[in-house]
Amino acid sequence: MSHAPHNAQESSFPHPGPASGKDAYWRCMEALEAADRRQEFPAGAPEFPDPVSRRHFFRIMSASLLLAGLGSTGCRRPEETRNVAGVDPGYTYGEPQYFATAMPSRRHAVPLRVKSIDGRPIKIEGNPRAPGANGGTDLHAQASILGLYDPDRAGRFAVNQQTVSRAEALGFLTRHGADLGNGQRLAIVSEQTGSPSRQRLRECIEKKLPAARWCEFEALDFDNAEAGASLAMGRPVAPRWQLDQAETILSIDCDFLGAEENAAAFAGQFSQNRSPSKPKDSMNRLYCVESLFTLTGSNADHRLAVPPSMLTAVLARFAMEILGAKSGTLTNLAALAAPASAFSNWIVPCAKDLIVNKGRSLVMAGHRMPLEAHALVAAMNEALGVNGKAVVYTPALIQNNLSMAKLLAELNSGSIDTLVILGGNPAYQMPAPTDWAAAQARAKTVLRWSLYEDETARLPGVHFFPATHYLESWGDARQPDGTILAIQPLIEPLFDGITDLEFLARLAGLEEALPQAIVRATHHALTGGDEAAWRHFLQNGCAADSAVKPVSTIIEQDSVAAAAARLSPGNRPSTAALDVVFYRDAKLDDGRFVNNGWLQELPDPVTKLTWDNAILISPATADLLGLARTNSSEPHPIIEMTLKGRTVRGPVLVQPGMADNTLGLALGYGQEASGRVGRGIGFNAFQIRRPDALHYDFGATIQRTGQSAPLAMTQSHWVLEDHGIIRENTLQGFREKPRFAQETGSSRPADNPSLYPNPLDTEKNSSGHQWGMTIDLNRCIGCSACVIACQSENNIPIVGREMVFRSREMHWLRIDRYYIGSKVSPRSVTQPMLCQHCETAPCESVCPVNATVHDAEGLNVMVYNRCVGSRFCSNNCPFKVRRFNFFDYNRNPPDHLYDSPLASQAGGQSRLKQWLKNPDRGSLPEKDYELARLSKNPEVTLRMRGIMEKCSFCQQRLQRAKEEQLIRSGDSKDTRIPKEFVPPTACQQACPARAIEFGDLSDLQSKAAGQRASLRNYAMFNELNLRPRVTYLARIRNLNPQMPEMEGVV
Amino acid sequence: MSDVFPKWTNRLPRDLALGGAVLLVCVTAGFAYYFTPKYTRQGYQPIQPVSFSHKTHVAQTGLDCRYCHHSVETAAFASLPAAATCMNCHNQVLRSDPRLEWVRRSAATNEPIPWVSVHQLPDFVHFNHAVHTRRGVGCVECHGDVSQMDEMRVAQPLSMAFCLECHRDPAPRLRPLEAVTETQWQFVPAATNLSTAQTLEARRDFGRKLIRDWNIQPQTSCNTCHQ
């Protein structure tokens, strides 16, 4: 695809070439430097993975097809039985049921409403009945359903890795618990929990075992905000941000749209005030100071990249500006802020804007910032007059926990005999020099409860208890506002696990060990609710009016001053002493989702990296260190990074917009004991993380190894080339030119003369609905929850790292991330890209077998049974949204995804024989197959090898809604689905920011039709006369004219 | 002459005949397999674990379909009755009949009875009973006259062509909602002494009226059934 000939060829149909220079949107570094070398597919895209040649591939393909044909003609359809229960089970086979539950996070939980069909959880949605919830979810909640069906999850009780029976293991637990005395030699290490039942259980256990030591362990915790606020207020309080109340927001390394806890809720609040539909509407403004390039930074109106060692100085400078006269007690602020003077042209106007909007402006600091910084932030928010508005304080729970350091000391001194480890994975997350493994070995009895037999469970002598997934468990949790959420099981434990509540109750020998009874008792104790209230609690998923009342707080100036005095300005980093940021991975979190294929294959929202982690570095630093690549086919150099005497090796990924002289390391990778999906992927950044520098560290050096490795990044895949793919403007520009979105890009009239009338034009009049979608680029934050939601709803397989290299990822919905501006401080835009359901779809006219056709309601439909896999449609698709099944991803185990039936022998048994015996199962192991059968959405057909697929606008949901309407209508004329019954698509439902609106365009009252009529609405590729059913709302940035251009970073 | 017809041509007629025969067998077998009711399962009549007779229950006893298939008007799946449903009557009728031994046991112990599935669509086909029964398609249209079947069998081909035939032209197959489960319902034209062709046309007119009154628009796009 080269652009030079465009002008020569096209005289009557002006095809705008790509913009260049300052206004060009670009996706990856190499593209910026060599735009003309871009290719539609990466090198080797159509090739068979090594070592089998393409020819060999065809040979075995044809042979296997032949054999498959022989096999299937030889038999009739098997006799099937319907085993009808003797007593009516009370539900109708095949009809979905919905249950309210919640997915526990660290201190809180995400309220959920889970769809279950025939007793199997199928799809996770947000629970709109929870207070403050909008029905959206984050990507982890969406992906967690795959964890339920993970065949590699722990499924056995074990002692020293030898399987024991459940009865034996539980018997041991009870006996051992009885011998604990007063708990003098017992320590319980648990991951954080916000469960009221766990809290109550702990109180019960503390009565029985008063001397037991409790320790909370999280590799990444988010408690600094709470600790800092408590310090500033002189009482234990937890700050709760309410972004919908704030108009001007300053984030200081606070990735509240990505890596902070409850990011989905923040996204919902943030986007509420982010979408001006008329020029005179207002919108919020986000300033962001950060070291990495995060989602929050890419959504910011003004962004400043500073290395972590400068963050304190920047914060202090803001404190000086905002606290002003009040800062009399804060004597050292000026000294602290001195290194930030280089940024004062950015900080001063920003602070002024915050002060001008007093009462509607909010300062936020991220979990990586020290607690003293959070104390300063609390003081700033008080000065800005937002206490009780954009930030409220609720009473915090005080727990008498042992710190990890003390626990380690006690373990090493031999004063702990019994060590209970609930969740977490300390052996992986605390390697040398902390050396958890050695400390754990000092305890005589180690009881380990977790979802996977991980590194910690595999240490010698461990008594292992498999945990239940939250979809199999009874439990409870609290929302950030204190509302009690119910966790109820949707399915019996698939792998014989037990819940944490039962485990603890049995250990302590409590009378009540049934988890449901424990939760119920807690509910009764907290709300005084009776049976009806309990039913209500389970039905709604939350206890009504159980939110915690905010408390009024007063800043203690002295405490803040004392806290500020403990802060010290950092030293500016250099290439010889680099700053390091350890960050929470957008996908794997701290490693807990390592065996989740959906998350592994999801392109990171910012870097677009899959199946790996990398050492992030800024372009300028990469140039200085000689690590920059010149084109996309070059592998990424592997470097050895040394930090305080310890080293780690990993590939370098150049991230535009990052602070210079800073390295970003994602945690959670490099696990050796995980399941088949996540084993050995990436490098373990915990190896160089020190207990006293958990988030930022300083003084790292790097060394080139001379080696290099390719990284499976999707940012150069499915490239669209046109000017006007993304349309954006400033709020000011929108006010001056409200129709800028339609006026940008190609101005070709939408109606081309055609020899052939489009049948849809006439069908439109008689058909009940015309489906369409709008996507608001201003609301979209790029979090990718929609991608996982789509994958979950539509049975989309994962293809593995090898195939991502070849641009064969199967996501029906992808998020394109564009940069604009310089490499140093680019702005970024995210654009969800899915089948646009063009009314004049180019894919349809090239299909040789009519496998992709239009229906009367405007859907571009894929007919899998007709598809012969010519891939012409994909070639002709201007949006590059069609996905081809190069392999039988559904019939191969995750570690042998690309094997054909003839490729090799699996476990002695002939693969081919197995394929012929049960073509549905293919070469899946029995357990995988049974679980896969359970996990798939039964309303969506599974696609086999050689089939094209793409977004269907969740036609199964539309079809169900239509059927339900027809059932309701009976012998009346009301066959049109009323607005309130139009189903959301999976992506729309999952979106926490409400960026996606789907609906009936022929119903002018529908939201989608309303958005389509918006001033900001635009369709892509006007000049091709595609008439897409998906349109976008142009992005508006609310710039502050006083601010400097986003250039001039350190 | 040997140059024109090499020796192997001697075998040619025989080979051609043999090859032709093999081809003929393959084509015939292919047709027999793929294009006959056997392939579509029309006439399939498996032996059920309990010798339940629809004839007895529908024609003789006069049970309505919905008594046992209770979700046929509300859900995609029409439901098979639990043994407890049978026992509603059979705790009075034929209380100790040995043929009902399994049913009694099932109702008492909840042990399932493995009824053999008779009507079965491929997994890539989505069918919803309720949409049809609530919009005037009688049970007999697809299931035949169940009231005359002792052992249940597949009465219609249930192939895609069969479905499309009705979706394209539903008029002669629609009936009032109250008659949907009646196996013996007949359209009675208002006028008498009509010829067969006229009766059919009157039937069609009646269907057209329902189509208008109920706004019936059977979908024929692929995604109606294949999702």
pTM: 0.90
CA distances from A393 to A381, A481, A551 (A): 12, 10, 6
Write the burial class of residue B202 (CB in 10 Å: 0-12 exposed, 13-18 middle, 19+ buried).
Answer: middle
pLDDT in tens, A344-354: 899 999 999 99
Residue B51 pLDDT exceeds 60: yes
pLDDT computed for residue B9 by the predictor: 87
Among partner residues A82, A940, A959, which is closest to B224 by beta-carbon distance? A959
Q: Does B214 touch chain A (CB under 8 A)?
A: yes
Q: Which residue matches tokens 């692929």?
A: B222
Q: Are the beta carbons of B131 and A963 separated by less than 8 Å?
A: yes
Residue A24 pLDDT exceeds 80: no
Beta strands (DSSP E) in A374-422 are 391-395, 418-422
pLDDT computed for residue A722 by the predictor: 67
pLDDT in tens, A142-187: 999 999 999 899 989 999 989 999 999 999 999 988 888 888 889 9
- Distance separating alpha carbons of residues A1037 and A778, to the nearest angstrom: 8
* Residue A397 banded pLDDT, cuts 50, 70, 90: confident
Give the list of residues 6+ apart from residue A46 with CB closer than 8 angstroms, or none. Answer: A806
* Residue A958 banded pLDDT, cuts 50, 70, 90: very high
pLDDT computed for residue A1 by the predictor: 36
Mean pLDDT for A881-909 is 78
* Residue A753 banded pLDDT, cuts 50, 70, 90: low
Q: Name the 3-class secondary structure at B105.
A: helix
Q: Are the beta carbons of B114 and A81 separated by less than 8 Å?
A: yes
pLDDT computed for residue A766 by the predictor: 78
**Residue closest to A1033 by CA, chosen among A281, A471, A79, A90:** A281
Q: Are the beta carbons of A86 and B219 separated by less than 8 Å?
A: no
Question: What residue of B is the nearest CA neighbor of A74?
Answer: B33
Q: Are the beta carbons of B221 and A855 separated by less than 8 Å?
A: yes
pLDDT computed for residue A7 by the predictor: 38
Other C-beta atoms within 10 Å of B92: how many? Answer: 8
Q: Are the beta carbons of A79 and B123 separated by less than 8 Å?
A: no
Q: Does B221 touch chain A (CB under 8 A)?
A: yes
Give the list of residues 6+ apart from residue A826 with CB closer than 8 angstroms, or none. Answer: A656, A657, A819, A820
Q: Does A78 touch chain B (CB under 8 A)?
A: no
CB pairs under 8 A between A and B: 142
Q: Are the beta carbons of A972 and B108 separated by less than 8 Å?
A: no
Q: How far apart are the CA of A209 and the nearest CA of chain B, in angstroms?
A: 45
In a mutational test of the B interface, the residue from A75, A79, A81, A962 whose CB has the highest number of chain B CBs within 10 Å is A81
Q: Does B111 touch chain A (CB under 8 A)?
A: yes
Least reliable range by pLDDT among A20-29, A486-495, A791-800, A925-934: A20-29
* Residue A10 banded pLDDT, cuts 50, 70, 90: very low
* Residue A982 banded pLDDT, cuts 50, 70, 90: very high
Q: Are the beta carbons of A84 and B135 separated by less than 8 Å?
A: no
Residue B1 pLDDT exceeds 60: no
Among partner residues B116, B214, B221, which is closest to A856 by beta-carbon distance? B221
pLDDT computed for residue A832 by the predictor: 94
pLDDT in tens, A197-245: 999 999 988 888 898 899 999 888 898 999 999 999 888 999 999 999 9
Q: Are the beta carbons of B81 and A84 separated by less than 8 Å?
A: yes
Q: Are the beta carbons of B41 and A77 separated by less than 8 Å?
A: yes
Q: Are the beta carbons of B215 and A973 separated by less than 8 Å?
A: yes
Among partner residues A766, A855, A967, which is closest to B223 by beta-carbon distance? A855
Tokens of A215: 């320790």
Residue B31 pLDDT exceeds 50: yes
Report chain A residues whose CB lies below 8 A from the CB of B111: 86
Residue A29 pLDDT exceeds 60: yes
Mean pLDDT for A461-467 is 92
- Distance separating alpha carbons of residues A465 and A382, to the nearest angstrom: 48
Q: Are A685 and A613 in contact (CB under 8 A)?
A: yes
pLDDT in tens, A511-563: 888 999 999 999 999 888 788 999 999 999 999 888 889 988 888 888 888 88
Q: Which residue has the higher pLDDT, A911 or B222?
A: B222
Q: Are the beta carbons of B75 and A94 separated by less than 8 Å?
A: yes
Q: Does A754 touch chain B (CB under 8 A)?
A: no
* Residue A23 banded pLDDT, cuts 50, 70, 90: low
Q: How far apart are the CA of A284 and the nearest CA of chain B, in angstroms?
A: 42
- Distance separating alpha carbons of residues A36 and A180, to the nearest angstrom: 71
- Distance separating alpha carbons of residues B119 and B54, to the nearest angstrom: 15
Enumerate residues 964 to 983 of chain A having a beta carbon within 8 A of any beta carbon in chain B: 966-967, 969-975
Enumerate residues 192 to 221 of chain A having a beta carbon within 8 A of any beta carbon in chain B: none
Residue A15 pLDDT exceeds 80: no
Residue A863 pLDDT exceeds 50: yes
Report chain B residues whose CB lies below 8 A from the CB of A77: 41, 120
Least reliable range by pLDDT among A52-61, A409-418, A551-560, A751-760: A52-61
pLDDT in tens, B78-122: 889 999 999 999 999 888 889 899 999 999 998 999 999 999 888
CA A708 to chain CA centroid, Å, is 28
- Distance separating alpha carbons of residues A800 and A897, to the nearest angstrom: 7
Q: Are the beta carbons of B75 and A95 separated by less than 8 Å?
A: yes
pLDDT computed for residue A30 by the predictor: 62
Beta strands (DSSP E) in A850-921 are 852-854, 860-862, 883-884
Enumerate residues 301 to 340 of chain A having a beta carbon within 8 A of any beta carbon in chain B: none
Q: Are A390 and A277 in contact (CB under 8 A)?
A: no
* Residue A19 banded pLDDT, cuts 50, 70, 90: low
pLDDT computed for residue A759 by the predictor: 79
Q: Strands A728-730 and A1035-1037: what pairing?
A: parallel
Q: Are the beta carbons of A86 and B221 separated by less than 8 Å?
A: no
Percent of chain A with pLDDT over 70: 90
Q: Does A849 touch chain B (CB under 8 A)?
A: no
Q: Does B227 touch chain A (CB under 8 A)?
A: yes
In a mutational test of the B interface, the residue from A76, A77, A84, A859 whose CB has the highest number of chain B CBs within 10 Å is A84
pLDDT computed for residue A54 by the predictor: 54
Q: Which residue matches tokens 């449901």?
A: A516
Report chain A residues whose CB lies below 8 A from the CB of B126: 939, 956, 959
Q: Which H helix or E strand runs over A234?
A: none
- Distance separating alpha carbons of residues A697 and A784, to the nearest angstrom: 29
Q: Are A345 and A331 in contact (CB under 8 A)?
A: no
pLDDT in tens, A923-951: 788 888 888 888 999 999 999 889 999 99
Among partner residues B71, B215, B223, which is closest to A975 by beta-carbon distance? B215
User: Which of A397-406, A716-725, A975-984 has the largest mean confidence?
Assistant: A975-984
Among partner residues A87, A956, A967, which is closest to B227 by beta-carbon distance? A956
Mean pLDDT for B153-170 is 91
pLDDT in tens, A248-267: 999 999 999 998 988 999 99
Q: Which H helix or E strand runs over A278?
A: none
- Distance separating alpha carbons of residues A872 and B182, to the nearest angstrom: 51
Helix extents (H) in A129-258: 139-148, 166-178, 196-208, 224-233
CA A394 to chain CA centroid, Å, is 27
Q: Are A419 and A448 in contact (CB under 8 A)?
A: no
pLDDT computed for residue A251 by the predictor: 94
Mean pLDDT for A431-444 is 84
Mean pLDDT for A815-824 is 86
Least reliable range by pLDDT among A610-614, A750-754, B130-134: A750-754
Mean pLDDT for A805-821 is 90
Mean pLDDT for A675-690 is 88
